[in-house]
Structure formats: C-alpha cells, structure tokens
Amino acid sequence: MDLVTALERVVPADRVLDDPDVVESYLQDHAEWAEYGQAVAVVRPRATEEVRAVVAFAAEHRVPIVPRGAGTGLSGGANAVDGCILLSLEAMNAVLEINDDERLAVVRPGVVNDDLRAACAARGLWYPPDPASAPWSTIGGNVATNAGGLCCVKYGVTRDYVLALEVVTGRGDVVRLGRRTAKGVAGYDLCGLMVGSEGTLGVITEITVRLRPKRAPERTIAGYFDSMVAAGEAVRAVSGSGVVPSALELVDRHCLEAVDAWKNMGLSTEANVVLLARSDTPGEDEAETILRCFRESGATWAALSADEQEAEALFDARRLAYPALERLGLVLTEDVCVPRAQVPEMLARIEKTAATHDTLIANIAHAGDGNLHPLLITPIGDEDARRRAQAAFEDIIADALELGGTVTGEHGVGLLKRGGLRREVSGPVLDLHRAIKNALDPLGILNPGKIFV
C-alpha cells in the first residue's frame, strides 16, 4: 500500500491532497533562495484528533512532518523536506471563545491574525501582536515564529500574549500546556518553550491568548531625514528620552519609491528616510517629546499629524513596502535585531555593506526596538547579483552579532539563519536545544533540518 492510500485510511480522504500542482503550491514559504524538497502529500486536518492521527502515523512509518499555516514566513521554516507530509493547519480556523471577563481568546491555529483582531475589536478588546503580514498570516504561524509587529516596541511580541496551548507531540500525544489564570508558576514554562519553536517540538492545535482593553486613539508623528544615520540617531534619542511610543518605524527612499511606483501615493519626493512614530499615551507630552527628538536629531521636517487619513497612508506605505519591492526583483529579507543604542551604527554598516557588495538594499525597520529588516533586491536570473546579495546577507548577520545583537528578531531561524544561530550561541547551548528537541520529538520527525545545522 502506498503512503497516500494509507493516509486516506487514517483521516478522511478529502483531507489528503496529492495532486502534483496542488502539492507544489505548498512546498515553500516566502524565503527567497531557501532550499525545499518534495512532499509526498499535503494533509489539511480540521480537528485535533486528525492531527494526532497523522502524527502517530508518521511516527509509526518514520515519515517527516512539516507543519505550516499560511506560508507567509520569511526564513524557510515551513519548507518541505523530501518525502515529508506537509501538515497544513489552514482549515482549523475557528475562533472558539472570546472571554470578556478574563480578557482572553481561544482559537485554532489557522485563524488569520487580522480576523482575530477584528473579532476582539467588536467586543471592545484588542490583540496587540501585529506583524506586517497580519492580513494573511495565521495565529499558529505567529506562535511558531514568535512574531512581533509594529506595536511590539511598547506592547511586546506573541510570546507575551500566549497563555496556553494544545499541542500534539512527536510521540503522537495530545497535551495541554500553560494556563488560563492571570498568574501561575507550576512546573517549567513548556508553553513558552513552544512559542518560537517553528514546528520542531510539536504541532499546535489550539491557542489561548491574552487580550487587552481597546486602547485610546493614537497620534502620529512623522519625521523626514536626509540619511539613515540621522534617522538612527533620532531612534536613539527617543529611546533615551524615557518615552515608549506605541510604534516607531523606519522606511527608506527605496521602499517609498517602490510603493509610489506601484500605488502612486506620492510619498518619495521629500525624504531619503522617514520615521513614523505613534503615541497612545493620554495628553500631548509624549508626542511632543518624540517630535523634539526628531527635530534635535536633524530632521529636515517633522510634525505631529493633524490629518489621520494622511497618517494612515504613511503607515500603509510601511506595510506595502515588501510586496512593492517584490515587483522590482527577488527580495532576500533580513531580520536582525540590535540594542537600540546601536541602531545608528548598524544602519551605517548596512549602507557600507550595500556599497561593498554592489547590492541594492532597501530598509524598513521596527526601529523602536532595534529590529531591522534590510531587503536585498536582485534582478531575476542574475546569478552574480545573487552571490553578491548572499555575501551581503552574511555580512549583515556578522555586524549585528558584533554589535551585541541577534540574527533574528521575529522571522525565526528556519533554514536561512541556521549558520547564524551557530555563531550566536555557544556549543553547550546548542546541545541544550538539541536535548529538548530529542525529548519532545525522539524520532526526529517534526520539521527536521530546521533551526539546527
């Protein structure tokens, strides 16, 4: 009996997809140049019991499983390996509960981030993590990579909001981790361990997240700068001032020009770099402090926006930057994070790297928490440009580590950052990682080849 026929006896047959064209569409995420293999089939379960049955089947037959959500990742973490079952959680997309009194929500992993946020907003509640991919990415994928977003500078990342998880382990056991209470320290934090584990420790089938009350309206502060370094100095000044903006984003001219060429928004005519800040603290003091930091750091123009539509257009440009740049060529996305005080130096080094390797590097950044996303753009089919871009990619990682940073702030290690992880952490620490992996996935079937070399 072939594997697909055997799978169709484990779960309903309509859950199993083996049409080559359909399977092809699931083989990789959005990580440019990350390798991927060929899957035997895609399975789209609709219930925890179906996930458990597939994992138990894979354990019995020693078949690798690669879990995935919407495939919007940028590190290769959801890419297929040869002979695997691609376990797509996209059909498990129910919001099971929104609890007003406890301020929590319980969802299946296939729920789209923006859909959860909209459901919460209708109840006067707010789910803060807001990656740029929020209109498409799923909560399960956000948990797998510990996704951040624009407001994480003030409100934290996905891990700060995950209270409990239902998980299928590599042994085929269904376990519940975490709690629903506001406090709790019983045992190790196995729930927290799963967040950011990229599908290598278990398959997440249910997620309980913490919610906040709906927040006050935000005010937007925009600043234009002639150079990346000047914008970086403004970021450092805001951090040193003691205020914590609800967003502090950087967008450079390359991004603005790409968005203008695509959407004709007219944003790229006046600045080489734009800083966008938001304040949701009552009163005007915080917004005025941010504005002063921009001006004292050399902004050619800075203002507190009185036009909410104009302010939203600027943030829309920030969100549209990545798809706009994809229209120019292949985009290899970086995701380094450095201490905020090192943002100006890191931005200067990125500019130097672009010149050294003759590579077009556009820049967007969650600048307020030092999370930088240099975007390396190469013409399709230009192998020499590809080699230069990959060398630049490695130099950016090296510079981030030298400045006390990390190789990934929110996209995950996946395939692209495995070498970087080995450079960032010591051998004994890698051994601890592998020991945890072996304990929870003793057969090594869950997303093999990811994170570790």
Is the pLDDT confidence value at 269 over 70? no
Assess whether 361 and 244 both reside in one domain: yes
Q: What pLDDT is recorded for position 1?
A: 60
Strand-pair category, 95-99 with 174-178 = unpaired
Arithmetic mean of pLDDT, 12-41: 97
CB of 149 closer than 8 Å to CB of 130: yes
Choose among 92, 89, 62: nearest CA to 78.
89
Assess whether 184 and 266 both reside in one domain: no
CATH number for 106: 3.30.465.10
CB of 129 closer than 8 Å to CB of 142: yes
Residue 442 located in a structural domain: no
CA dihedral for 188, 189, 194, 196, sign (positive or negative): negative
* Structural domains in the chain (count): 3
Assess whether 147 and 234 both reside in one domain: no
Q: What pLDDT is recorded for position 238?
A: 97
Assess whether 45 and 61 both reside in one domain: yes
Arithmetic mean of pLDDT, 326-333: 93
Separation in Å, CA 203 to CA 116, 342, 352: 20, 37, 42
The model's confidence at residue 297, banded by pLDDT at 50, 70 and 90, is: very high
Assess whether 194 and 259 both reside in one domain: no
Assess whether 42 and 143 both reside in one domain: no
CB of 35 closer than 8 Å to CB of 77: no
CB of 66 closer than 8 Å to CB of 112: no
CATH number for 42: 3.30.43.10
Identify the domain boundary among 88, 117, 142.
Answer: 88
The model's confidence at residue 114, banded by pLDDT at 50, 70 and 90, is: very high
What pTM was computed for the model?
A: 0.94
The single residue listed with the structure tokens 């609800």 is 246
Q: What pLDDT is recorded for position 441?
A: 96
Arithmetic mean of pLDDT, 365-393: 96
Assess whether 288 and 147 both reside in one domain: no
Identify the domain boundary among 213, 234, 257.
Answer: 213
Q: What pLDDT is recorded for position 316?
A: 83
Identify the domain boundary among 358, 380, 402.
Answer: 402
12 contacts: CB under 8 Å, gap ≥ 6: 50
Q: What is the pLDDT of residues 429-445, one digit of tens each?
A: 999 999 999 999 999 99
Is the pLDDT confidence value at 125 over 70? yes
Q: What pLDDT is recorded for position 308?
A: 76
Residue 429 located in a structural domain: no
Residue 310 located in a structural domain: yes
Assess whether 325 and 289 both reside in one domain: yes
150: domain range?
95-213
Tell which wins on pLDDT, 218 or 99.
99
Is the pLDDT confidence value at 270 over 80? no
Arithmetic mean of pLDDT, 176-205: 96
Q: What pLDDT is recorded for position 268?
A: 67
Q: What is the pLDDT of residues 59-78, one digit of tens each?
A: 999 999 999 999 999 999 99
Is the pLDDT confidence value at 267 over 90? no
Assess whether 29 and 142 both reside in one domain: no
CB of 262 closer than 8 Å to CB of 293: no
Q: What is the pLDDT of residues 278-294, one digit of tens each?
A: 999 998 999 999 999 99
Assess whether 280 and 143 both reside in one domain: no
